[in-house]
Amino acid sequence: MVCIIRGGVPVSIFFSQVRALPEPNDDRLSSLARAPYFRDVLQVPLNQTELVASQLQFGIFNYLPSWVNALMGLRNHLVKRLGFEVGQTTMTPEADHWEVGTKAGFLTVKEISDNEVISGAEDKHMSFFISVKKTNNTVIVSTLVNQKTFLGRVYVNAILPFHYVIARVVINNAVKAGRI
């Protein structure tokens, strides 16, 4: 459950399609976790059951609201000087052409199958991974951030309120728009 309150109402009520799950111990991202780390696991209903995991990731993250792109631009401008990885927020090539090593926005595809894509980025302060996993009737989007330095820990704690809202908005929008 999200702790962020807007107008006295928990944010999770605004994103009724998105459900937070407990951190699993036996998935692929668990094996990549290095303390200290942050982990977030979200699940939404899958309406487009014919899509593979790379198409689901594309459908979720290639359509960011303009205010999210503006925040990402500001973030990139501020943290680039501190040695953090920055990159584009749109994903090229299209999801049908992904393989290990493909750049998907600022992430690089690390592992790919029809049912799961694990993408990541790494710099001296942290390593960041996203898993988009297709199950029977749901999509599970999981974030893992290994914090390597003190500055990495400060950064993660500073952006967590934004992460909670942005992740849920972007995933919820993909469901509402019928992209996933």
Q: Which residue has the tokens 């991974």?
A: 129
88, 105 contact by CB (below 8 A): yes
Q: Where are the alpha helices (DSSP H) in 41-149?
A: 53-61, 66-79
The residue type found at 2 is V
Which domains, and CATH codes, for the chain? 5-176 (3.30.530)
| Residuewise pLDDT in 10s, the chain (180 residues) | 344 544 444 455 567 789 999 999 989 999 999 999 999 999 999 999 999 999 999 999 888 889 988 888 888 888 888 878 777 666 565 666 788 988 887 789 999 999 999 999 999 999 999 999 999 899 999 999 999 999 999 999 999 999 999 999 999 999 999 999
Say what the pTM is.
Answer: 0.85
Q: How far is CA 160 from the centre of its chain?
A: 12
